[in-house]
Structure 1
Amino acid sequence: MESEREVIDLQAGAPSPRRNQPINLNHYATKKSVAESMLDVALFMSNATRLKAVLEQGPSSHYYITLISLISISLLLQVVIGILLVVTARLNLNEVEKQWRLNQLNNATTILVFTTVVVNVFITAFGAHKTGFLAAKTSRSHL
């Protein structure tokens, strides 16, 4: 009679030599930083597009100064986050003497990411455009 472990090993296929190796935390942290950097770049591009749209609308639009300020703050925070992520990705997590510094950098990055999310919520709230019935009614009243 086969044990449950043997059945599981047979279903999973031939045992892999990599399966029994411990995870490389440095490799994991680097991949995490790269993925976070890609998301930061996507948000940066989105905010650059928003900034362009606000500048094209001009100062006559509601909340012009507010949106310019919030988008600029968000872009600045994203640049700082990007720099922190590059520094974090370059340090080796496996070196014990660097772990405290990496933890501090990771905490700072997390706080800045949270702040950026909050700022972008306000950007979205102040930058909301009228849609549907209200937009049609407003555009007709200007004619």
Structure 2
Amino acid sequence: MGSEREMINLHDSNPGSRRENVININHYATKKSVAESMLDVALFMANATQLKAVLEQGPSFHYYATLTTLISISLFLQVVIGILLIVIARLNLNDVTKQQRLDLLNNIATALVFFTVIFNIFITAFGVQKTGLYPSPYGRRNY
């Protein structure tokens, strides 16, 4: 268990209650970073699938260069965000000497997440066509 400086006691509003909840802020921040990382991995996988679909369609696809560029930038930003989240999760939030650095890293990660969302809005707007991996409802039927 952490030191008293790392803990915050939350007392129930009922003064007669003997129950206390203790929250370790460092564990809370770490869990938050892990959850963000999982979401980042999910988006990374979706973008990788989109990139594969665009590459399979080839340069004849109308928005080939645009989507390839946007998806590549999004993937790069997600890797940077993932690295930042790992660094943030490993640093001790309660170490006063590291709080300013953590705040800066958190602000950078938040800004990068914002730009990643913007890039993914444009990726969705330009659309990724089906690649023929799925059977066409109008395809040839053998009876």
TM-score between both structures, scaled by the size of structure 1: 0.77
Partner of 1:81: 81
1:111 positional shift: 0.1
Q: Deviations over 1:31-85 (max 9, x none)?
A: 1000000000000000000000001111111110000000000000000000000
What code does the residue aligned with 1:62 have?
Answer: H
- Greater share of strand residues, 1 or 2? 2
How far 1:24 sits from its partner (Å)?
Answer: 1.5
Larger radius of gyration: 1
Q: Structure 1 99/87 Cα, relative in aligned 2: closer, same or farther at 3 Å?
A: same
Runs of 4+ residues deviating >6 angstroms: none
Q: Structure 2: which 5+ residue stretches go unaligned?
A: 1-12, 131-137, 139-143
Aligned to 1:43: 43
Greater helix proportion = 1
Number of equivalenced pairs:
120
2:80 aligned partner, one-letter code: V
| TM superposition score normalised by structure 2 | 0.77
How many Å separate the matches in 2 of 1:49 and 1:128? 10
Partner letter of residue 64 of structure 1? Y
Assess if the C-alpha contact under 8 Å between 2:50 and 2:128 holds in 1: no
Unaligned runs of 5+ in 1: 10-14, 131-138
